[in-house]
Structure 1
Amino acid sequence: MSNFGEEVPAAKKTASAPALAAIGQVVEIAGSGSQIRLDAAALSSLQSHSDPSVAMSGQVGSQVKMVVDGNWLIANVRTMRAGDAGEVIAHVDFLGEGTRDTSGTLSQFRRGVTRYPIPSSEVLPVTTDDLRAIFAASDEPHIEIGTVYPTDDIRGALYVDPMLSKHFAVLGSTGTGKSTSVALILHRISQLSPEGHIVMIDPHGEYSAAFKGCGELFNVDNLQLPYWLMNFEEHCEVLLTTHGAERQRDADILAKCLLAARTKGKDLSTLGKVTVDSPIPYLLTDLNGIIVNEMGKLDRAGDTLPFQRLKTKLDELRADPRYTFMFSGMLVSDSMGSFLAKLFRLPSHGKPISIVDVSGVPSEVTSVVVSVLARMVFDYAIWSRTEAQRPLLLVCEEAHRYVPKNETGEGQSVRRILERIAKEGRKYGVSLGLITQRPSDLAEGVLSQCGTIVSMRLNNDRDQACVRAAMPEGARGFLDAIPALRNRECIVCGEGVAIPIRVRFDDLEPEKRPASSDPSFARLWRETGDEEGIIQRTIKRWRGHGR
């Protein structure tokens, strides 16, 4: 066994740099995680090394390497504690292995381990050249999102096919640069695939500013979402106001009347099997008339109450200007084809992303609107299976709103469809991107369906524990760094990367950034002037908007 600090034999030296001395040895091997013993003096001497990767080697979150059967085995340092006589005991997770040529250079890195080292094997620092070989992007389609920590020039790459085919999640507390980072990822995907098909649900109206040049922007003024696209469950969420047994009775009446409205005046022989869920246009006046007609058939006045409730709610929706984008009389024609073509970018004409700003949608129906949009994505994918495939990516910002842990209460239709996409979407070519600042509030299992996790700083212990449970074992050393990440830094692990990496995101051009920057109180509170005009214009918009 070599002593710490002893030089590696000449066969291991690279031609370009002097060989590095061993900094420790393997103590215990246990599957994915093992223990190594490091020499504290050797680690200390490395800290002034000109290579930043060597200077970091042996620290928590850094990598070390060891020789096994002519290959370099790369491990990530998870935890460290003081041992005896100036030694440091570290837990490591094995990440993968690469070929070691005659000069000692690492190449052809691959994830996974075929052979483990034996106790007393030497542990060596990892160089920037090693990291370059480890993180070198293959020929698979990929996007570069930033630089790998602690280097200045090694690019962090996300592989698009594995990332999208198995869903992804972007997590991070408020103020960590999450929105800008999401915009960066979507911009890079759009540049790689200008004929792509991406739908983004934007609850705060942040992303329209970022994609006005390369996306189609929708809001309550131009969305024109036909009410008849809603399925029966979504109709119930909008039209029913009761609970318990009364709600069930109201739902039975609505089902009967809705089916009659969908089939009224239609040639059923051309439509096939029609159900209350079929997206067949119908007139609100027809539904209203059928409700009134059914109510007229009843003998006792008491029986008319459920019909009265439905009719009153329907009249409210038709009269309320806030609902014009969905319950306008202009939405009766069969516009389903043109609506799907615009929303899904078919064809995309070089604008592959649709930003659907739901910030202007009345809060009572926001979850139903998101449910309809998400279900359109999934149902289109199912019913177009026999056609040329056009995979779709659905990105959902503030995902904890729509897929909450709580299984009761309002908005269950959107929860069910997003859970179904998470479980089954990949079979049909539907990818789901979840963005949230509260992963602990997400429904159980949804995060674990995401094959790639991009985690920015999370300040809450529950959120950190939730991410830890969803990430693979080999990323644990990186996870401990999550509370210490700077703004616009992230840990990426899972299918979209070769091995877990810590990345600093690239800066995004100002015109491509979302409108989500925090105001500077100190600067803005020094400005003054035109307060009366600001108030008058604000009140006019406020009143005119109808929210």
Structure 2
Amino acid sequence: MNPSEGLLAHSSDGRTFVYVGKETFAVVPGDIVVLNTEDSGMVLGQVLDCNDPAALDDGGSGVLLGPLDETGVPRPERRQPFRNARLSEPGERHLERLQQVSGATLEVGTWRSAGHEVPALLRAGAFNRHTFLCGQSGSGKTYALGAILERLILNTELRVVVLDPNADFVSLGEARADAPAAVADRLSDTAVRVLGADTTGHEPLRLRFSTMSRQAQAALLELDPMRDREEYNLLIHRMDETASSGLDHVVRELLVGSPDERALGLRIENLGLDHWEVWAGELPSAAEIVSSGSRATVLDLSGFEDPHEPMAVSLDLVERLWAERTSRVPTLIVIDEAHNLCPADASGALQQALVDRLVQIAAEGRKYGLWLVLSTQRPDKIHQQVVSQCDNLVLMRMNSPGDVAAVAHLFGYAPSAMLRTSPFFQQGEALFAGRFVATPSFFRMGARFTKEGGTDVAVPVAAP
């Protein structure tokens, strides 16, 4: 074959290919191509890198996805090395069939490749791996996460729990006026419970001290079992009384008791815990609501006076899910603004306890049906032992070269040339990579079905 005849490729290992020549159609990293071999018929491939535009010849490299049958379906056969193949553009059917054979059915938007645009599909079953979504402010990150969660709630039986620091997902169960009627009906049949502080008007978001794990109680009280052994021993023997009488009543009794009891009472009083709104009393706690069978629960963590209150209720819920892990209820734990709840450097015993449990869930939770979805605009600020366990990636616009480099280091399955384009994404565009897509792909998110939050506040412009 003569290089002047277009783009010509060869593969020495049956897994990857390199090509060179003169482009007769535009090729960019991520594009699907058809390789017409001399001996093995047609093979579907994906371009992963292209030569520098200043090079004399066009060229690049890619990965082979599989030989094609007569209908354009990639066959699950061993791919053979080949010496010569001409690259040609795929048809829409190639993109559609590639997704279908991967088991992807969850439509989230559109996929554009090699000049074609088809529905973008995810494998719902692949959310049994942890997922990482990142993008800078204004990239459409909150919108995209909402679109994904809507589809999972509508099309799976997953139990979904959302830790929502900014009240961006409190309308996850409310259909938009322009949502398809069938979707609106299904949403109305799916109870999405929203819990929040009293000022939010939602169901009360509450925590029960007496049912917290001992480690969580100690973290809340900043107690060390050896350094504070007298107070810690009192915690073991006295604090279960809060189940019936409440924390404020127990504090009053402690303050008139022995020196050790007074020390524990003063600790609680000095930390301001006796004035927290979050205590359940006669109300159900968030952990109890989720355990009772709530299909989808949004915890609006905004609105509390003390920032430790939402941290404590998050810890209690995560601890409960871990304690009940042997029930193996498939559960998606969604953490928005995850750099606040799962930071690389925890601040204080309470946050450290939450991070430690999330690290354990990231490492061991998959076999129990506990799967994380982490969303952030600061990928370098998330605890690396959690991020490193994520097998799915959604990358939206990210301008910082340092952040892009951090993502490239952490997610080796995402092609570097595709990652490098993220600073140029438009709002709503994203790179999807990992187990939940047929192949790394550039998607544009589709329409939301529910009312979205997280929009920017507009600058009020004076009337002319």
TM-score range, shorter chain: 0.7 to 0.9
Describe the superposition over 1:117-153 as per-residue Cα deviations: whole angstroms up to 9, x where unpaired. 3344333333333223223366x47310001014665
Once residues 95 and 477 of structure 1 are traced to their aligned partners in structure 2, the CA distance between those partners, rounded to angstroms, is 17
Structure 1 position 441, deviation (Å) = 1.1
For the pair 1:479 / 2:419, whether they are aligned, the reply is yes
Aligned 8 A contact 2:160 2:297 in 1: yes
Structure 1 position 253, deviation (Å) = 2.4
Once residues 518 and 235 of structure 1 are traced to their aligned partners in structure 2, the CA distance between those partners, rounded to angstroms, is 38
Alignment match, 2:160: 198
Larger mean CA deviation between 495-504 and 307-316 belongs to 307-316
1:327-366 maps to which residues of 2 (within 5 A)?
329-330=281-282, 340=287, 342-344=289-291, 346=293, 348=294, 352-361=295-304, 362-366=306-310
For the pair 1:325 / 2:296, whether they are aligned, the reply is no
Aligned 8 A contact 1:439 1:466 in 2: yes
Alignment match, 2:455: 517
- Which of 437, 445, 450 matches 1:505? 445
Alignment match, 1:537: none
Unaligned runs of 5+ in 1: 6-22, 47-55, 242-246, 265-278, 296-303, 529-547
Superposition TM-score, scaled by structure 2 size: 0.84
- Which of 93, 96, 102 matches 1:132? 96
Aligned 8 A contact 1:397 1:436 in 2: yes
Alignment match, 2:331: 392
Describe the superposition over 1:187-241 as per-residue Cα deviations: whole angstroms up to 9, x where unpaired. 1111113x54111000011211343465111002212221223223332333238
Q: 1:527 to 1:372 in 2, by over 3 A?
A: farther
For the pair 1:37 / 2:20, whether they are aligned, the reply is yes
Once residues 239 and 472 of structure 1 are traced to their aligned partners in structure 2, the CA distance between those partners, rounded to angstroms, is 41
Once residues 372 and 254 of structure 1 are traced to their aligned partners in structure 2, the CA distance between those partners, rounded to angstroms, is 21
Query: SS state of the match for residue 343, structure 1?
Result: helix
- Which of 418, 425, 445 matches 2:358? 418
Once residues 289 and 502 of structure 1 are traced to their aligned partners in structure 2, the CA distance between those partners, rounded to angstroms, is 62
Q: 1:518 to 1:82 in 2, by over 3 A?
A: closer
Instruction: State percent identity of aligned pairs.
Output: 21
Alignment match, 2:320: 376
**What is the root-mean-square deviation in Å for CA atoms of aligned residues?**
3.1
Query: SS state of the match for residue 121, structure 1?
Result: strand
Aligned residue-pair number: 438
Q: 1:340 to 1:405 in 2, by over 3 A?
A: closer
Alignment match, 2:135: 172
Once residues 360 and 229 of structure 1 are traced to their aligned partners in structure 2, the CA distance between those partners, rounded to angstroms, is 24
Alignment match, 1:315: 269
Q: 1:436 to 1:31 in 2, by over 3 A?
A: farther
Alignment match, 2:7: 24
Describe the superposition over 1:390-423 as per-residue Cα deviations: whole angstroms up to 9, x where unpaired. 3111100011122222266451011011111111
Describe the superposition over 1:34-55 as per-residue Cα deviations: whole angstroms up to 9, x where unpaired. 432131xxx2x53xxxxxxxxx
Q: 1:98 to 1:445 in 2, by over 3 A?
A: farther
- What one-letter code is carried by the residue in structure 1 that aligns with 2:94? D
Aligned 8 A contact 1:258 1:287 in 2: no
Once residues 30 and 291 of structure 1 are traced to their aligned partners in structure 2, the CA distance between those partners, rounded to angstroms, is 76
- Which of 511, 516, 526 matches 2:462? 526
Once residues 441 and 396 of structure 2 are traced to their aligned partners in structure 1, the CA distance between those partners, rounded to angstroms, is 12
Once residues 281 and 346 of structure 2 are traced to their aligned partners in structure 1, the CA distance between those partners, rounded to angstroms, is 35
- What one-letter code is carried by the residue in structure 2 that aligns with 1:186? L
Structure 1 position 262, deviation (Å) = 5.3
- What one-letter code is carried by the residue in structure 1 that aligns with 2:47? N
Query: SS state of the match for residue 73, structure 2?
Result: strand
Once residues 318 and 347 of structure 2 are traced to their aligned partners in structure 1, the CA distance between those partners, rounded to angstroms, is 20
Q: 1:95 to 1:520 in 2, by over 3 A?
A: farther
Structure 1 position 465, deviation (Å) = 1.5
Once residues 32 and 470 of structure 1 are traced to their aligned partners in structure 2, the CA distance between those partners, rounded to angstroms, is 23
Unaligned runs of 5+ in 2: 176-186, 199-203
Once residues 24 and 231 of structure 1 are traced to their aligned partners in structure 2, the CA distance between those partners, rounded to angstroms, is 63
1:99-110 maps to which residues of 2 (within 5 A)?
99-101=68-70, 106-108=72-74
Q: 1:366 to 1:341 in 2, by over 3 A?
A: closer
1:77-88 maps to which residues of 2 (within 5 A)?
77-81=48-52, 86-88=56-58
Aligned 8 A contact 1:61 1:481 in 2: no
Aligned 8 A contact 2:66 2:79 in 1: no
1:45-194 maps to which residues of 2 (within 5 A)?
45-46=24-25, 56=26, 58-67=27-36, 69-81=40-52, 86-90=56-60, 92-101=61-70, 106-108=72-74, 114-136=78-100, 140=103, 142-150=105-113, 153-162=117-126, 164-193=127-156
For the pair 1:219 / 2:165, whether they are aligned, the reply is no
Structure 1 position 493, deviation (Å) = 0.9
Query: SS state of the match for residue 100, structure 1?
Result: coil
Once residues 190 and 281 of structure 1 are traced to their aligned partners in structure 2, the CA distance between those partners, rounded to angstroms, is 37
Alignment match, 1:4: 4
Aligned 8 A contact 2:160 2:333 in 1: yes
Q: 1:527 to 1:365 in 2, by over 3 A?
A: farther
Once residues 415 and 373 of structure 1 are traced to their aligned partners in structure 2, the CA distance between those partners, rounded to angstroms, is 13
Once residues 280 and 108 of structure 1 are traced to their aligned partners in structure 2, the CA distance between those partners, rounded to angstroms, is 60
Once residues 152 and 526 of structure 1 are traced to their aligned partners in structure 2, the CA distance between those partners, rounded to angstroms, is 43
Once residues 344 and 64 of structure 1 are traced to their aligned partners in structure 2, the CA distance between those partners, rounded to angstroms, is 48
Superposition TM-score, scaled by structure 1 size: 0.72
Q: 1:462 to 1:26 in 2, by over 3 A?
A: same
For the pair 1:207 / 2:169, whether they are aligned, the reply is yes
Once residues 28 and 379 of structure 1 are traced to their aligned partners in structure 2, the CA distance between those partners, rounded to angstroms, is 51
Once residues 527 and 368 of structure 1 are traced to their aligned partners in structure 2, the CA distance between those partners, rounded to angstroms, is 47
